[in-house]
Protein backbone atom coordinates (compact mmCIF):
# COMPACT_ATOMS: atom_id res chain seq x y z
CA UNK A 1 0.00 0.00 0.00
CA UNK A 2 1.53 3.25 -1.03
CA UNK A 3 -0.85 5.77 0.53
CA UNK A 4 0.90 8.42 -1.55
CA UNK A 5 -1.37 10.30 -3.87
CA UNK A 6 -0.02 11.77 -7.05
CA UNK A 7 0.32 15.52 -6.49
CA UNK A 8 -1.23 16.13 -9.92
CA UNK A 9 -4.46 14.55 -8.70
CA UNK A 10 -4.62 16.69 -5.57
CA UNK A 11 -6.61 19.43 -7.24
CA UNK A 12 -7.23 21.21 -10.51
CA UNK A 13 -7.07 24.78 -9.36
CA UNK A 14 -7.00 26.16 -12.89
CA UNK A 15 -10.07 25.54 -14.98
CA UNK A 16 -10.39 25.22 -18.76
CA UNK A 17 -9.09 27.99 -21.08
CA UNK A 18 -6.98 29.45 -18.28
CA UNK A 19 -10.11 30.48 -16.35
CA UNK A 20 -9.72 30.32 -12.55
CA UNK A 21 -10.75 26.96 -11.08
CA UNK A 22 -12.93 26.68 -8.01
CA UNK A 23 -10.01 25.84 -5.75
CA UNK A 24 -8.53 29.28 -6.53
CA UNK A 25 -11.18 30.55 -4.13
CA UNK A 26 -9.51 28.44 -1.46
CA UNK A 27 -11.02 26.01 0.99
CA UNK A 28 -14.00 27.33 2.99
CA UNK A 29 -13.42 30.46 5.05
CA UNK A 30 -14.86 29.30 8.35
CA UNK A 31 -17.68 31.18 10.02
CA UNK A 32 -18.62 29.40 13.23
CA UNK A 33 -22.16 29.01 14.50
CA UNK A 34 -22.27 28.87 18.33
CA UNK A 35 -25.31 26.56 18.19
CA UNK A 36 -23.22 23.82 16.56
CA UNK A 37 -20.61 21.43 17.98
CA UNK A 38 -16.91 22.31 17.74
CA UNK A 39 -15.91 18.88 16.51
CA UNK A 40 -17.66 16.12 14.56
CA UNK A 41 -16.49 12.53 14.26
CA UNK A 42 -17.01 11.24 10.74
CA UNK A 43 -17.79 7.53 10.52
CA UNK A 44 -16.54 6.73 7.03
CA UNK A 45 -18.55 3.96 5.37
CA UNK A 46 -17.23 4.09 1.79
CA UNK A 47 -15.31 0.79 1.79
CA UNK A 48 -18.34 -1.08 3.20
CA UNK A 49 -21.61 0.71 2.40
CA UNK A 50 -20.09 2.41 -0.63
CA UNK A 51 -18.65 -0.67 -2.27
CA UNK A 52 -21.21 -3.31 -1.21
CA UNK A 53 -23.50 -2.29 -4.09
CA UNK A 54 -20.83 -2.43 -6.82
CA UNK A 55 -21.58 -5.32 -9.17
CA UNK A 56 -18.05 -5.59 -10.63
CA UNK A 57 -15.78 -7.14 -8.00
CA UNK A 58 -13.17 -4.70 -6.72
CA UNK A 59 -9.81 -6.44 -6.08
CA UNK A 60 -8.97 -6.82 -2.39
CA UNK A 61 -5.70 -4.89 -2.86
CA UNK A 62 -7.66 -1.91 -4.22
CA UNK A 63 -9.97 -2.02 -1.17
CA UNK A 64 -6.95 -2.08 1.16
CA UNK A 65 -5.38 0.84 -0.70
CA UNK A 66 -8.67 2.77 -0.53
CA UNK A 67 -8.83 2.31 3.24
CA UNK A 68 -5.16 3.24 3.65
CA UNK A 69 -5.68 6.46 1.67
CA UNK A 70 -8.80 7.32 3.71
CA UNK A 71 -6.86 6.87 6.95
CA UNK A 72 -3.99 8.95 5.56
CA UNK A 73 -6.51 11.70 4.72
CA UNK A 74 -7.32 11.89 8.43
CA UNK A 75 -10.44 9.75 8.77
CA UNK A 76 -10.17 8.11 12.18
CA UNK A 77 -13.08 5.69 11.77
CA UNK A 78 -13.34 3.70 8.54
CA UNK A 79 -15.88 0.88 8.30
CA UNK A 80 -13.83 -1.71 6.49
CA UNK A 81 -16.06 -4.59 5.38
CA UNK A 82 -18.85 -7.00 6.37
CA UNK A 83 -18.77 -10.55 7.66
CA UNK A 84 -22.18 -11.32 6.19
CA UNK A 85 -23.09 -14.36 4.12
CA UNK A 86 -20.90 -14.12 0.98
CA UNK A 87 -23.86 -15.05 -1.23
CA UNK A 88 -25.84 -12.12 0.11
CA UNK A 89 -23.12 -9.53 -0.56
CA UNK A 90 -20.58 -11.06 -2.99
CA UNK A 91 -18.59 -7.81 -3.20
CA UNK A 92 -17.52 -8.22 0.45
CA UNK A 93 -16.87 -11.97 0.32
CA UNK A 94 -13.15 -11.19 0.61
CA UNK A 95 -13.38 -9.90 4.20
CA UNK A 96 -10.95 -12.60 5.41
CA UNK A 97 -8.38 -11.59 2.79
CA UNK A 98 -8.81 -7.88 3.49
CA UNK A 99 -8.30 -7.87 7.27
CA UNK A 100 -4.60 -8.90 7.29
CA UNK A 101 -3.85 -6.24 4.68
CA UNK A 102 -5.19 -3.60 7.07
CA UNK A 103 -3.15 -4.65 10.10
CA UNK A 104 -0.17 -2.33 9.32
CA UNK A 105 -2.49 0.69 9.35
CA UNK A 106 -2.87 0.52 13.14
CA UNK A 107 0.85 1.15 13.58
CA UNK A 108 0.83 3.96 11.05
CA UNK A 109 -2.29 5.61 12.52
CA UNK A 110 -2.53 4.94 16.27
CA UNK A 111 -6.14 4.96 17.43
CA UNK A 112 -7.51 4.19 13.95
CA UNK A 113 -10.89 2.44 14.21
CA UNK A 114 -11.82 -0.11 11.54
CA UNK A 115 -15.27 -1.49 12.48
CA UNK A 116 -16.90 -4.31 10.50
CA UNK A 117 -20.53 -5.40 10.07
CA UNK A 118 -21.66 -8.71 11.55
CA UNK A 119 -25.25 -9.94 11.30
CA UNK A 120 -25.01 -12.99 13.57
CA UNK A 121 -22.73 -15.19 15.67
CA UNK A 122 -21.19 -16.78 12.59
CA UNK A 123 -20.22 -13.30 11.40
CA UNK A 124 -18.88 -12.42 14.85
CA UNK A 125 -16.75 -15.58 14.94
CA UNK A 126 -15.24 -14.64 11.59
CA UNK A 127 -14.65 -11.04 12.67
CA UNK A 128 -13.02 -12.00 15.98
CA UNK A 129 -10.83 -14.58 14.26
CA UNK A 130 -9.50 -11.65 12.22
CA UNK A 131 -8.99 -9.38 15.21
CA UNK A 132 -11.78 -6.90 14.48
CA UNK A 133 -11.63 -4.21 17.16
CA UNK A 134 -15.23 -3.05 16.71
CA UNK A 135 -18.33 -4.56 15.13
CA UNK A 136 -21.78 -3.38 14.10
CA UNK A 137 -25.12 -5.14 13.96
CA UNK A 138 -27.84 -3.82 11.66
CA UNK A 139 -31.56 -3.85 12.39
CA UNK A 140 -34.55 -2.41 10.60
CA UNK A 141 -37.29 -0.10 11.83
CA UNK A 142 -39.66 -1.91 9.46
CA UNK A 143 -40.74 -5.51 9.18
CA UNK A 144 -40.39 -5.80 5.40
CA UNK A 145 -36.80 -4.59 5.25
CA UNK A 146 -35.83 -6.85 8.18
CA UNK A 147 -37.03 -9.82 6.15
CA UNK A 148 -35.41 -8.66 2.92
CA UNK A 149 -32.06 -7.73 4.46
CA UNK A 150 -31.71 -10.36 7.17
CA UNK A 151 -34.20 -13.09 6.23
CA UNK A 152 -35.75 -12.60 9.68
CA UNK A 153 -38.66 -10.75 11.27
CA UNK A 154 -37.61 -7.67 13.24
CA UNK A 155 -38.09 -9.65 16.49
CA UNK A 156 -36.07 -12.61 15.23
CA UNK A 157 -33.32 -10.23 14.11
CA UNK A 158 -33.09 -8.76 17.62
CA UNK A 159 -32.76 -12.29 19.04
CA UNK A 160 -30.04 -13.00 16.46
CA UNK A 161 -28.14 -9.91 17.64
CA UNK A 162 -28.47 -10.62 21.38
CA UNK A 163 -25.64 -13.19 21.64
CA UNK A 164 -23.54 -11.16 19.20
CA UNK A 165 -23.64 -8.10 21.45
CA UNK A 166 -23.12 -10.21 24.60
CA UNK A 167 -20.15 -12.10 23.24
CA UNK A 168 -18.59 -9.02 21.68
CA UNK A 169 -18.88 -7.33 25.08
CA UNK A 170 -17.12 -10.28 26.76
CA UNK A 171 -14.34 -9.97 24.17
CA UNK A 172 -14.02 -6.23 24.88
CA UNK A 173 -15.24 -5.34 21.40
CA UNK A 174 -17.68 -2.38 21.25
CA UNK A 175 -20.81 -2.81 19.16
CA UNK A 176 -22.51 -0.15 17.06
CA UNK A 177 -26.17 -0.66 16.20
CA UNK A 178 -27.54 0.47 12.85
CA UNK A 179 -31.23 1.06 12.40
CA UNK A 180 -32.37 1.23 8.78
CA UNK A 181 -35.52 2.76 7.23
CA UNK A 182 -35.89 5.34 9.99
CA UNK A 183 -37.88 7.79 7.86
CA UNK A 184 -39.40 5.88 4.98
CA UNK A 185 -39.48 2.38 3.58
CA UNK A 186 -40.12 1.57 -0.10
CA UNK A 187 -42.59 -1.17 0.84
CA UNK A 188 -44.23 0.29 3.96
CA UNK A 189 -44.14 4.06 3.30
CA UNK A 190 -43.54 6.61 6.05
CA UNK A 191 -42.29 5.16 9.33
CA UNK A 192 -43.77 6.62 12.56
CA UNK A 193 -41.34 8.14 15.07
CA UNK A 194 -42.57 5.89 17.90
CA UNK A 195 -41.92 2.78 15.83
CA UNK A 196 -38.35 3.89 15.08
CA UNK A 197 -37.67 4.86 18.69
CA UNK A 198 -39.03 1.48 19.87
CA UNK A 199 -36.65 -0.50 17.65
CA UNK A 200 -33.73 1.82 18.47
CA UNK A 201 -34.27 1.40 22.20
CA UNK A 202 -34.11 -2.37 21.79
CA UNK A 203 -30.68 -2.11 20.14
CA UNK A 204 -29.44 0.12 22.95
CA UNK A 205 -30.91 -2.20 25.59
CA UNK A 206 -29.05 -5.12 24.01
CA UNK A 207 -25.86 -3.18 24.78
CA UNK A 208 -24.99 -1.27 21.60
CA UNK A 209 -22.67 1.58 22.49
CA UNK A 210 -23.88 3.79 19.64
CA UNK A 211 -27.00 3.87 17.49
CA UNK A 212 -26.78 5.04 13.88
CA UNK A 213 -30.13 6.19 12.50
CA UNK A 214 -30.32 5.39 8.79
CA UNK A 215 -32.35 7.16 6.13
CA UNK A 216 -31.67 4.17 3.91
CA UNK A 217 -33.60 5.43 0.87
CA UNK A 218 -32.86 9.13 1.41
CA UNK A 219 -36.40 10.48 1.82
CA UNK A 220 -36.03 12.46 5.06
CA UNK A 221 -36.30 16.24 5.31
CA UNK A 222 -34.80 18.31 8.15
CA UNK A 223 -37.99 18.71 10.21
CA UNK A 224 -38.39 14.94 10.34
CA UNK A 225 -34.80 14.55 11.50
CA UNK A 226 -35.36 17.03 14.33
CA UNK A 227 -38.60 15.25 15.29
CA UNK A 228 -36.99 11.80 15.34
CA UNK A 229 -34.03 12.93 17.43
CA UNK A 230 -36.41 14.66 19.85
CA UNK A 231 -38.33 11.37 20.10
CA UNK A 232 -35.16 9.56 21.20
CA UNK A 233 -34.27 12.27 23.70
CA UNK A 234 -37.84 12.13 25.13
CA UNK A 235 -37.36 8.37 25.55
CA UNK A 236 -34.27 9.06 27.69
CA UNK A 237 -31.52 8.36 25.15
CA UNK A 238 -28.49 10.68 25.54
CA UNK A 239 -27.88 12.38 22.20
CA UNK A 240 -24.17 11.43 22.53
CA UNK A 241 -25.23 7.85 21.78
CA UNK A 242 -26.81 8.78 18.45
CA UNK A 243 -25.27 9.01 15.00
CA UNK A 244 -26.94 9.84 11.69
CA UNK A 245 -26.61 8.07 8.36
CA UNK A 246 -28.11 9.87 5.37
CA UNK A 247 -28.49 8.96 1.73
CA UNK A 248 -28.77 11.77 -0.79
CA UNK A 249 -31.63 10.64 -3.05
CA UNK A 250 -33.45 13.99 -2.95
CA UNK A 251 -30.39 16.15 -2.23
CA UNK A 252 -31.36 16.53 1.43
CA UNK A 253 -28.46 14.75 3.11
CA UNK A 254 -26.52 17.90 4.06
CA UNK A 255 -29.64 19.77 5.24
CA UNK A 256 -30.59 16.75 7.29
CA UNK A 257 -27.09 16.62 8.75
CA UNK A 258 -27.28 20.27 9.76
CA UNK A 259 -30.61 19.60 11.48
CA UNK A 260 -29.02 16.70 13.36
CA UNK A 261 -26.05 18.85 14.45
CA UNK A 262 -28.47 21.47 15.76
CA UNK A 263 -30.09 18.70 17.82
CA UNK A 264 -26.71 17.88 19.38
CA UNK A 265 -25.54 14.94 17.24
CA UNK A 266 -21.73 14.86 16.77
CA UNK A 267 -21.23 11.58 14.87
CA UNK A 268 -22.09 11.59 11.16
CA UNK A 269 -21.77 8.70 8.72
CA UNK A 270 -20.61 9.49 5.20
CA UNK A 271 -19.10 7.76 2.21
CA UNK A 272 -16.03 9.01 0.35
CA UNK A 273 -16.99 10.26 -3.10
CA UNK A 274 -20.68 9.62 -2.36
CA UNK A 275 -20.40 5.92 -3.22
CA UNK A 276 -23.17 3.73 -1.98
CA UNK A 277 -26.58 2.21 -1.89
CA UNK A 278 -27.99 -0.92 -0.35
CA UNK A 279 -28.28 -4.13 -2.37
CA UNK A 280 -31.52 -5.01 -0.54
CA UNK A 281 -33.22 -1.62 -1.01
CA UNK A 282 -33.07 -0.87 -4.72
CA UNK A 283 -34.32 2.68 -4.27
CA UNK A 284 -31.34 3.51 -2.02
CA UNK A 285 -28.94 5.84 -3.83
CA UNK A 286 -25.51 7.09 -2.82
CA UNK A 287 -24.62 8.04 0.72
CA UNK A 288 -23.89 11.56 1.81
CA UNK A 289 -20.47 12.24 0.25
CA UNK A 290 -17.75 12.69 2.87
CA UNK A 291 -16.20 15.55 0.89
CA UNK A 292 -19.51 17.45 0.74
CA UNK A 293 -19.88 16.95 4.49
CA UNK A 294 -16.32 18.09 5.22
CA UNK A 295 -16.73 21.19 3.03
CA UNK A 296 -19.81 22.19 5.06
CA UNK A 297 -18.31 21.33 8.46
CA UNK A 298 -15.04 23.16 7.81
CA UNK A 299 -17.03 26.13 6.51
CA UNK A 300 -18.82 26.17 9.86
CA UNK A 301 -15.50 26.05 11.70
CA UNK A 302 -16.18 22.49 12.90
CA UNK A 303 -13.09 20.30 13.27
CA UNK A 304 -13.01 16.88 11.62
CA UNK A 305 -9.30 16.08 11.39
CA UNK A 306 -9.75 15.49 7.65
CA UNK A 307 -7.45 16.86 4.94
CA UNK A 308 -10.06 17.70 2.28
CA UNK A 309 -7.82 17.90 -0.83
CA UNK A 310 -6.23 14.59 0.12
CA UNK A 311 -9.64 13.00 0.66
CA UNK A 312 -10.94 14.31 -2.68
CA UNK A 313 -7.81 12.94 -4.38
CA UNK A 314 -8.59 9.55 -2.81
CA UNK A 315 -12.12 9.62 -4.19
CA UNK A 316 -10.81 10.68 -7.59
CA UNK A 317 -8.44 7.71 -7.47
CA UNK A 318 -11.29 5.36 -6.44
CA UNK A 319 -13.56 6.72 -9.18
CA UNK A 320 -10.89 5.78 -11.73
CA UNK A 321 -10.70 2.26 -10.25
CA UNK A 322 -14.49 1.98 -10.68
CA UNK A 323 -14.38 3.53 -14.15
CA UNK A 324 -16.89 6.35 -13.59
CA UNK A 325 -16.87 9.88 -12.18
CA UNK A 326 -17.53 10.51 -8.52
CA UNK A 327 -21.08 11.68 -7.75
CA UNK A 328 -19.73 14.04 -5.03
CA UNK A 329 -20.14 17.69 -6.01
CA UNK A 330 -17.16 18.70 -3.88
CA UNK A 331 -14.93 16.10 -5.54
CA UNK A 332 -15.95 17.41 -8.97
CA UNK A 333 -15.48 21.02 -7.89
CA UNK A 334 -12.00 20.31 -6.55
CA UNK A 335 -10.77 17.85 -9.17
CA UNK A 336 -12.81 18.74 -12.26
CA UNK A 337 -16.04 17.29 -13.70
CA UNK A 338 -14.52 14.03 -14.90
CA UNK A 339 -12.99 13.16 -11.50
Ligand X SMILES: CC(C)(COP(=O)([O-])OP(=O)([O-])OC[C@H]1O[C@@H](n2cnc3c(N)ncnc32)[C@H](O)[C@@H]1OP(=O)([O-])[O-])[C@@H](O)C(=O)NCCC(=O)NCCSC(=O)C[C@@](C)(O)CC(=O)[O-]
Q: H or E element: which one contains 173?
A: none
- Helix/strand number for the chain, H first, E second: 11, 11
Q: Which of the ranges 66-74, 148-156, 196-204, 297-305 carries the binding residues for ligand X, by CB under 6 A? A: 148-156
Q: Which is nearer to ligand X, 183 or 317 (CB)?
A: 183
Q: Which of 12, 51, 83, 256 binds ligand X (CB under 6 A)?
A: 83
Q: Which of the ranges 23-31, 121-129, 231-239, 308-316 carries the binding residues for ligand X, by CB under 6 A? A: 121-129
Nearest to 165, CA basis, from 211, 99, 234:
211
Q: How far is 308 from 297, CA to CA, in rounded Å?
A: 11
Q: How far is 192 from 276, CA to CA, in rounded Å?
A: 25
Q: Is 85 in the site for ligand X (CB under 6 A)?
A: yes
Q: Which is nearer to ligand X, 151 or 321 (CB)?
A: 151
Q: Is 120 in the site for ligand X (CB under 6 A)?
A: yes
Q: Which residues does the annotation mark as catalytic?
A: 278
Q: Is 47 in the site for ligand X (CB under 6 A)?
A: no
Q: Is 273 in the site for ligand X (CB under 6 A)?
A: no
Q: Cα-flanking dihedrals φ and ψ of residue 137, to 5°?
A: -100, 160
CB contact at 8 A, 113 and 76: yes
CA dist list (Å): 140 to 54, 115, 200: 22, 19, 9
Q: Which of 47, 123, 200, 336 binds ligand X (CB under 6 A)?
A: 123
Binding mask 233-262 for ligand X (x = CB under 6 A): ------------x-----------------
Q: Is 148 in the site for ligand X (CB under 6 A)?
A: no
Q: Is 271 in the site for ligand X (CB under 6 A)?
A: no
Q: Is 214 in the site for ligand X (CB under 6 A)?
A: yes
Q: How far is 317 from 334, CA to CA, in rounded Å?
A: 13
Q: Is 218 in the site for ligand X (CB under 6 A)?
A: no
Q: Is 200 in the site for ligand X (CB under 6 A)?
A: no
Q: Which is nearer to ligand X, 138 or 295 (CB)?
A: 138
Binders of ligand X in range 287-316 (CB under 6 A):
none
- The residue ranges of DSSP E strands in the chain, in sequence order, are 41-44, 77-78, 81-82, 116-117, 135-140, 175-180, 184-185, 189-190, 210-215, 242-246, 267-270
Q: How far is 275 from 43, CA to CA, in rounded Å?
A: 14
Q: Is 183 in the site for ligand X (CB under 6 A)?
A: no
Q: Is 161 in the site for ligand X (CB under 6 A)?
A: no
Q: Is 82 in the site for ligand X (CB under 6 A)?
A: yes
* Beta sheet of 242-246, edge-to-edge order: 77-78, 41-44, 267-270, 242-246, 210-215, 175-180, 135-140, 116-117, 81-82
Q: Which is nearer to ligand X, 254 or 302 (CB)?
A: 254
* Contact set with ligand X (CB under 6 A): 49, 52, 82-85, 88-89, 119-120, 122-123, 126, 138, 149-151, 178, 180, 214, 216, 245, 278, 280
Amino acid sequence: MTEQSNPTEQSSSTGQNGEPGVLDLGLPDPVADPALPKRVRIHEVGPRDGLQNESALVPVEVKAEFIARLAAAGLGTVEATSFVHPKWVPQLADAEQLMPLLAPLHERHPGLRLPVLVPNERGLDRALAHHAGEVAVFASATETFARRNLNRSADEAMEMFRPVVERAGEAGVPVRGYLSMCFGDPWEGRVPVDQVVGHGLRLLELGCAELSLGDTIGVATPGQVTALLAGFVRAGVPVEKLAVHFHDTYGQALSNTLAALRSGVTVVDASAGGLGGCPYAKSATGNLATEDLVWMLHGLGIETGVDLPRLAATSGWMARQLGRPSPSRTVRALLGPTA
